[in-house]
A and B are shown apart, each in its own frame.
Chain A
Amino acid sequence: MDLTRLSAAALSEKLTAGEVTSVEVTQAHLDRIDAVEGAVHAFLHVSDDVALATAADVDARRAAGQSLHPLAGVPIAVKDVVVTEGMPTTAGSKILEGWVPPYDATLVERLKAAGLPILGKTNMDEFAMGSSTEHSAYGNTHNPWDLERIPGGSGGGSAAAVAAFEAPLAIGTDTGGSIRQPGAVTGTVGVKPTYGSVSRYGLIAMASSLDQAGPVTRTVLDSALLHELIGGHDARDSTSIDEPLPALVDAARQGALGDLTGVRVGVVTELSGDGYQAGVSARFAESLELLEKAGATLVEVSCPNFRYALGAYYLIMPSEASSNLAKFDGMRFGLRVEPTDGPVTAERVMSATRGAGFGDEVKRRIILGTYALSAGYYDAYYGSAQKVRTLIQRDFDAAFTQADVLVSPTAPTTAFKLGEKLDDPLAMYLNDIATIPANLAGVPGISVPNGLSDDGLPVGFQILAPAKADDRLYRVGAALEAALENVWGAPLLAQAPELEIAR
């Protein structure tokens, strides 16, 4: 039996039953990482010793009869934008190369308290700015379905690690689609929870009013298990929702039974048609049929202001990012570069440090954000974008009176070739056209793999629910997953090519 092929839920059962130890499970994943990392490059840092120490501790506690969290001993990979005490954290940037945080993010504290061995930190676009992971300062991550192609972004490392069976679980963050779009292009499951569902304390912020951490997994149930572990109120994040999470795991188990009688599924008119690849549209139509067969009612809903979402996003996100990234000033942590000529003043050190430490896309967005916030442009750009945000929320409110969940393809195309869109920022930004509205409104979304396009590459199906109704994602997502696997006879990833084993 290959332990790396099992879901987190299946591993949990075997660990609880004493059929395997966490050390065996963790070592199997570390061996897999050794074997395929040369081809995939999902990780920026692999923490063998720390992971095995946690695993041994969990095994000892289990042997002593202690009561443990269901995911205790199941290893996990963490996106490098989440701070981890004693483990390097770079956010994919040279400006933080070698930085070792002195504290843990709240979600990492929860992973550690529950006894999940942390396998390492995953690659990402620098400061989570990108849709292909090509903006990482530490090299490309390769899509396990086709190593010449992008794994999505910004969380391409987490998605690729899970798709390549290097980890059963991973943590991602989603500001405009950075969990869901990589999920779609790698044939994995990704969830962006309701804004405030998972604490942002210890996330290196890009856009504070949009950022949300969430699960990256191979099954819908695994995402629910992980979401319940990392979610819930945290007094250290003032935007954290101070109420209990809905019953997410129960919803996933109920959905897997396959009955969606009475569920109204809204198909968003504005998130289909032009710009969506034919194979993506075809798989979407087939998935709708499966939902209907499961008893759901399909309704068409219109969200006319979604066409302004991309514009609003590319004003709000860079504006908030330009402010958040001001902390990288070369004074208290990270890189410091002194100018080679002229006086070495704080201001000139700051400019030299940021000039040398930030990559092009980060500079582009900081400059765009600073411009949008500057005197004379604020009302036309940032002010207008915030109004569009209101209009998009109203569209969601109206749509959710007609439907319990909204659906669309997650991304307009399958994975493109590395380098294909690197010199065209606007083309790159269009990857997130279907995922951005959820971030602007704070509502939750999931991407579930729903087949292969004509090019043999994975496609994702997006489900959106009202704020704080994350359970609906899991119910409908698990029902779709069950119906699709019934058709395929196996999970989609069973069709992925075997990676060359390098040893």
Chain B
Amino acid sequence: MSSISRDEVSRVAALARIDLTPDQVDRFAADLDVIVDAIAQVSEVATSDVPATSHPLPLTNVMRADEPVAPLTQEQALSGAPAQEDGRFLVPQILGEE
């Protein structure tokens, strides 16, 4: 069922926004091929009559009381920021154009 190529690893790493070196791409392609082979057996028993479980204990519509609580201060929220200006997060340009 599986066969993870170098190209596939590069494509998925780009989706996940992780820069990889060519050497890492080689190693991860080899590792992931073995791992995916080992775990693909789940499809053997996952027949259409079995419902999916996303959560260990059933829960619906969890609400807390609608009471205001103090949020972080602006200073606290910015305390770990790599860069800030005028009380805001300072980020690189979002779009690639000039």
Contacts and interface: CB of A to CB of B under 8 A. Distances in A.
Interface of A: 99-103, 194-196, 209-210, 235-236, 238-239, 241, 305, 308, 310-312, 314-315, 322, 329-336, 338, 343-352, 354-356, 358, 360, 363-364, 366-368, 370-371, 374, 380-381, 383-391, 393, 425-426, 429, 439-443, 467
Given A371-B8, A389-B52, A315 B42 contact: yes
B15 to A, nearest CB: 5
Interface residues of B, number: 58
Contact of A386 (B12, B39, B40, B54): B54
A374 B53 contact: no
B65 A311 contact: no
A312 to B, nearest CB: 5
Given A310-B39, A345-B94, A393-B56, 16 more contacts: A100-B79, A103-B72, A194-B57, A195-B57, A239-B55, A239-B59, A338-B92, A363-B24, A364-B32, A368-B36, A371-B12, A374-B12, A380-B1, A389-B52, A389-B53, A390-B50
B46 A383 contact: yes
Contacts of A333: 80-82
Contacts of A429: 35
6 contacts: A195-B57, A334-B80, A351-B14, A355-B19, A368-B35, A371-B12
Contacts of B7: none
A333 B72 CA distance: 14
A311 B80 contact: no
B84 to A, nearest CB: 10
A352 B19 contact: yes
B59 A366 contact: no
Contacts of A441: 56
Contacts of B52: 383, 386-387, 389-390
Contacts of A310: 38-39
A314 B56 contact: no
Q: Which of A355, A367, A393, A467: most chain B CB closer than 10 A?
A: A367
B93 A344 contact: yes
Interface string B52-70: 1111110100101100000
Nearest to B51: A390
Contacts, number: 186
B17 to A, nearest CB: 5
A343 B96 contact: yes
A360 B24 contact: yes
Given A332-B81, A350-B17, A425 B96 contact: no
Interface of B: 1, 4, 8-9, 12-20, 24, 27-28, 31-32, 34-36, 38-47, 50-57, 59, 62, 64-65, 72, 76-77, 79-83, 89, 91-96
A363 B10 CA distance: 12
Contact of B31 (A331, A364, A439): A364
Nearest to B72: A102
Nearest to A355: B19
Contacts of A364: 28, 31-32
B15 A374 contact: yes
Those 6 A-B pairs whose CB atoms lie nearest each other, nearest first: A442-B56, A355-B19, A333-B80, A336-B82, A384-B46, A386-B52
A387 B13 contact: no
B35 A426 contact: yes
Contact of A355 (B18, B56, B59, B94): B18
Contact of B45 (A102, A210, A238, A305): A305
Contact of B17 (A210, A351, A385): A351
A332 B20 contact: no
B50 A391 contact: yes
Nearest to B61: A238
A392 to B, nearest CB: 9
Contacts of B42: 308, 311-312, 315, 381, 384-385, 387-388
Given A196-B57, A333-B80, A370-B12, A351 B18 contact: yes
B76 A102 contact: yes
